[in-house]
Structures are given as structure tokens and as C-alpha cells.
Amino acid sequence: MFETGRNADAAYAIEYIQEHPEAGLCQEGRRWWITPNANETDQEVFHLDVAEAERLKDDARLQAVFGIAHEGRSLWIMRNMT
């Protein structure tokens, strides 16, 4: 696993989210990160640059979560593919 503060690419990030279904992709302003627990979006496993994050958020395996507690923050989680 990456240490907090490290960058990753979209391929690694989607792999991480698939292996950790409680994880999520977070965005606030121009800052993007992977949180290990989508219920606690302040936690960070690693960061993504804007281009990689835009690629990741458009992945069909992810879905946006609406109405999270942090105003101005967006969250995507692994779509339930049952």
C-alpha cells in the first residue's frame, strides 16, 4: 500500500478500490485522493493528479455518492455489480 502523501495512477487506484470495497475516490477543489473508508473521507491512502483522477471517476465500475457530509467534496465508490 502507498503511504499517505504519495501519488498513484488510475489503474492502481481502481485496483485498490476493487480490493477494498469500503474505499472511495474523493475530490475537493483540485485535490483528489483515495480514502480507505468512504464513510470517513478525511482519511487518505494516496493522492491522484487531476488527469488520473478524471480518468478514474469516469470508470463505469464507480458511482457517485450524493449528499455526503462535507460540503464541496465529492465521493465515488465501487458500484455494486450484482
Query: Domain extents for the chain?
Result: 7-78
Give the N- to C-terminal CA distance of the chain in Å, as an integer: 27
What predicted TM-score, i.e. pTM, was given to this entire model? 0.87
The answer to whether 23 touches 35, Cβ cutoff 8 Å, is yes
User: Looking at residue 41, what DSSP letter applies?
Assistant: T
**Gap between the Cα atoms of 28 and 31, Å rounded:** 5
Mapping DSSP to helix (H, G, I), strand (E, B) and coil, where does residue 62 land?
A: strand
User: Looking at residue 2, what DSSP letter applies?
Assistant: P
Position 3 confidence tier, pLDDT thresholds 50, 70, 90: very low
Position 2 confidence tier, pLDDT thresholds 50, 70, 90: very low
Q: Tens of pLDDT along 42-66?
A: 999 999 999 999 999 999 999 999 9
